[in-house]
Amino acid sequence: MITLIDRASAFKERIAIKSNGQSYTYSQLLSESKSVGIKLLNGDKDLNGARIAFLVPAGFQYACIQWGIWRSGGIAVPLCEKHPLPSITYILEDTKASTVVFSKEFESLLKPLFNTTDIRFIPSETFDEQEGSLPDVQMVRSALILYTSGTTGSPKGVVTTHNNIETQITALTTSWEWDKDDHVLNVLPLHHVHGIINMLSCALWSGACCEFLSKFSTKAVFDTFCKNEVNVFMAVPTIYFKLINYYNELPESDQQKISEQLKSFRLMVSGSAALPVSVLEQWKEISGHTLLERYGMTEMGMAISNPYHGERKPGHIGQALHGVSIRLADENDTEVAEGMQGEIQIKGANVFKEYWNKPKETANTFTPDGWFKSGDIAVLDYGSYKILGRNSIDIIKSGGYKISALEIEEILRTHPKIKDCGVVGIPDDEWGELIGASLILASKDLDIEKLKAWLSDKLPGYKTPRKYIIQDDLPRNVMGKVTKNDIKQLFITTK
Ligand code: MLC
Ligand code: AMP
């Protein structure tokens, strides 16, 4: 029995999801996800952990498919709407997905795979009402694989169980006092924990309503706010930055209307990247809310949060959430003395099970005594954690997306006109970090616009470098290794 789904029976006539201008009840979610599950079973009794990938826009159908996969005993693998085919193929091959469910707008993208693999492709439009029974799925089973970038070139699949997910959800629903009368606006992509766990799953756990926009746009967000239904909002700092800029351009009467509306919200959260204090302060002027900043990761959901009640300290991420143990450790994985900086390490039932099919990488990311090593460096500052940076320059956070510099470098090096390269994150007010690529050319006539077009077939837009420097050589240290800090400095000084 999956608790999240079982609980929905208590909220049957309430609105679970709003998308495409329509409202859908918990009852509809239960019956349609059952039909999806039975269709996926295709006559079998249990999918027994088969990986079912799905590529559909955020909305009611997404939730039905996710729950349908879980109810039939499968592992859900949500795909990113903005990924080009090679990124999708990588995930399908890595997970050895048995099935892909897709909606019609993705048919032409996926078509080249239809007759070249054993994968069963199911158009989501064909999910009609189905009779049959579903297996009893235990909470210890694996539920979800989300892909995350790390200090290895290719993204890794993070496997969480139903138990992990339930712990991640309840840490937030209790700490942030979710209620069945809440109504959250979800504008984030649904292949990452921020959109999937913090908003969609917390809302459904609580009997609340999760509303989706088909695509993020500042105007659509404010228009939706002004309908007087939404009372909870969560986003990455880039989105707050964009909302502030849009608001500042509006006539005063519109500004007043929006600000009035925002004052009635119950909760506004920022996370997935550091929230600049200037953004926190400007949003407070606009909305009257001090954004609640929290810290999390694909591998563990949320771990540290500023308080719902009590002081939210600007520039800080707060305290350990209920049920999560946190320590700061040095490079030998020994806990540091109070007041010293160290790597954030985490223990708790929220922490993921494994990297899919990567036992060595899984083992390497835990200390011998079972603490998960986040790679983030922090200090405990008067009772509130403050992030100082990351222990690898190869991890970039741009627009809330975690991006591996090494993955981009590997692809750039396959370009016939590029001899070598170094990719770094450059500090940026709007995006947190912009991706910068320094290139050593094999042929002098490289056209950057053509290079960007070439990259767009291989990488999603959010992983595409925005700034380029052409160099004769890359800075190297005495060991002959590229010094990324020098490259970063070069970008900063030539900005
Ligand atoms: C897009 N653009 C960028 C860019 N991405 N420019 C610089 N850097 C980037 N990274 C440019 C495009 O080229 C385009 O420019 C313009 O911005 C709009 O592009 P878009 O793709 O339409 O962007 P938009 O839809 O506006 O998306 C912005 C965003 C998106 C912030 C909504 O990046 C997003 O959804 N981020 C959230 C990711 C997320 O959910 N992370 C959570 C991971 S979980 P032009 O010139 O063509 O207009 C996690 C754990 C935790 O981190 O703690 O939560
Ligand atoms: P992801 O792998 O996409 O789940 O990204 C997780 C990473 O996002 C963390 O390891 C942090 O580096 C970063 N992150 C999340 N929340 C915050 C925050 N509030 N402040 C700074 N960094 C954050």
- Nearest residue (by CA) to ligand 2, atom 12, is 376
| pTM, full prediction | 0.97
Identify the CATH number of the domain defined by range 395-488: 3.30.300.30
Q: Is the CB of 398 under 6 A from ligand 1?
A: yes
What is the token pair recorded at 189? 């992509």
Identify the pLDDT of residue 199: 98
Q: Is the CB of 194 under 6 A from ligand 1?
A: yes
CA of 216 to the centre of ligand 1 (A): 9
- Domain 3-137 falls in which CATH fold? Rossmann fold (3.40.50)
- Nearest residue (by CA) to ligand 2, atom 6, is 297
Q: Quick one: which ligand is closest to 187's CA?
A: 1
User: What are the pLDDT tens digits along the chain (495 aa)?
Assistant: 999 999 999 999 999 999 999 999 999 999 999 999 999 999 999 999 999 999 999 999 999 999 999 999 999 999 999 999 999 999 999 999 999 999 999 999 999 999 889 999 999 998 888 789 999 999 999 999 999 998 777 899 999 999 999 999 999 999 999 999 999 999 999 999 999 999 999 999 999 999 999 789 999 999 999 999 999 999 999 999 999 999 999 999 999 999 999 999 999 999 999 999 999 999 999 999 999 999 999 999 999 999 999 999 999 999 999 999 999 999 999 999 989 999 999 999 999 999 999 999 999 999 999 999 999 999 999 999 999 999 999 999 999 999 999 999 999 999 999 999 999 999 999 999 999 999 999 988 999 999 999 999 999 999 999 999 999 888 887 778 888 999 999 999 986
Q: Is the CB of 54 under 6 A from ligand 1?
A: no
Identify the pLDDT of residue 70: 98
Q: Is the CB of 274 under 6 A from ligand 2?
A: yes
The pairing of beta strand 342-347 with beta strand 372-381: antiparallel
**Among 196, 236, 372, residue to substitute to test ligand 1 (most atoms within 8 Å of Cβ):** 236
> What is the enclosing helix (H) or strand (E) of 398?
strand 395-398
CA of 392 to the centre of ligand 1 (A): 22
Asked if residue 432 lies in contact with residue 273, where contact means CB atoms within 8 angstroms, the answer is: yes
**Among 295, 298, 372, 388, residue to substitute to test ligand 2 (most atoms within 8 Å of Cβ):** 295
Q: Is the CB of 272 under 6 A from ligand 2?
A: yes
Asked if residue 213 lies in contact with residue 207, where contact means CB atoms within 8 angstroms, the answer is: no
CA of 371 to the centre of ligand 1 (A): 31
Residue 260 makes CB contacts below 8 A (sequence gap 6+) with: none
Instruction: Write the DSSP string, 432-455.
Output: EEEEEEEEEESSTT--HHHHHHHH
For residues 204, 210, 214, 218, the Cα torsion angle rounded to the nearest 10 degrees is: -140
Residue 487, SS3 per DSSP: helix
> What is the enclosing helix (H) or strand (E) of 123?
strand 120-123
- Nearest residue (by CA) to ligand 1, atom 5, is 462
- Nearest residue (by CA) to ligand 1, atom 14, is 461
| Ligand 2 atom at minimum distance from 299 CA | 4
Identify the pLDDT of residue 483: 87
Q: Is the CB of 271 under 6 A from ligand 1?
A: yes
Q: Quick one: which ligand is closest to 273's CA?
A: 2
What is the token pair recorded at 380? 């405990």
CA of 429 to the centre of ligand 1 (A): 13
How many Cβ atoms are within 10 Å of 125's Cβ, its own excluded? 10
| Ligand 1 atom at minimum distance from 431 CA | 8
Identify the pLDDT of residue 479: 78
Identify the pLDDT of residue 151: 77
Per-residue CA distances from 385 to 197, 279, 303, 341 (Å): 23, 19, 11, 10
Asked if residue 70 lies in contact with residue 163, where contact means CB atoms within 8 angstroms, the answer is: no
Per-residue CA distances from 321 to 192, 317, 347 (Å): 20, 11, 11
- Nearest residue (by CA) to ligand 1, atom 9, is 462
Q: Select from 352, 394, 351 the least CA-distant residue to 149.
A: 394
Write down the domain spans for the chain: 3-137, 395-488
What is the token pair recorded at 351? 């922490």
Q: Select from 133, 144, 47 the least CA-distant residue to 91.
A: 144
The HSE-up count of residue 251 (CA atoms within 13 Å, CB side) is 2
